Amino acid sequence: MRSRAIAVTAAAVAAAAALAQPVHAAPLVDGVYRFAALSDGKCLTWPKSYGSIGTASLGACTDDGSTSANWQVRQRPNGTMEVSTPGSNPRTCLRLETDYRVVVSDNCADKYAEWTVSYGSAGPGSVVWADIEHTPGDRSGSWGKLVDSPDVTGRIVVRRAPIEPHYWGLQPVG
């Protein structure tokens, strides 16, 4: 009886400890999301003008005539993810340039359009963060995390340095 009480108590303590720990990053399921920069509440946006091609930047977390904050996230057959603009025709995707700027391009097929997108939280009541990392399937050296960088035009860039994964607040779009 005593060993059973100890086991139950130990299980309760373990459960409480698990709740107190940050949730580890988990893969994001396919869907439409908005990625909000936690520093100023603006969202990762794409241009709807000029054929939906151009620099990804920060803007209002809404859909308007010239930009959109809605992104379609889909698993690719090779295990990476595609972050694309929903309903674009031809299809346009979030893509990394060779100088590490982030753009929206109609070239969705190459390794520079391959991403890992995961999410997590520090627990109940805390913000749900997203981690968007360029991880090409060919394991080339162009990896890095998507950040809001004030020293870059458009403020969006991929950085190779280690970066805290809770940079973007995740806003599921219903």
Residue 12 lies in a domain: no
Q: What pLDDT, on the 0 to 100 scale, is given for residue 125? A: 82
Q: What pLDDT, on the 0 to 100 scale, is given for residue 5? A: 46
Give the separation between CA 1 and CA 144, rounded to whole angstroms: 54
Per-residue H/E/C for 47-100: ECCHHHCEECEEECCCCCCCEECCEEEEECCCCCEEEECCCCCCCCEEEECCCC
Q: The whole model's pTM is what?
A: 0.78
What confidence tens digit (pLDDT) does each residue in 111-151 have? 999 999 999 887 888 888 888 999 887 777 778 889 888 78
Number of folded domains in the chain? 1
Residue 19 lies in a domain: no
Q: What pLDDT, on the 0 to 100 scale, is given for residue 17? A: 33
Residue 41 lies in a domain: yes
Residue 14 lies in a domain: no
- Beta carbons of 104 and 146 less than 8 angstroms apart: no
Residue 69 lies in a domain: yes
Q: Domain range spanning residue 105?
A: 25-172
Residue 155 lies in a domain: yes
The average confidence (pLDDT) of the chain is 79
Residue whose C-alpha is closest to residue 30's, from 61, 75, 63, 79: 75
Residue 115 lies in a domain: yes
| Neighbour tally for 152: CB within 10 Å | 17
How sure is the predictor about 166, in pLDDT bands with cuts at 50, 70 and 90? low
Read off the CATH number of the domain in which 38 is found: 2.80.10.50
Residue 77 lies in a domain: yes
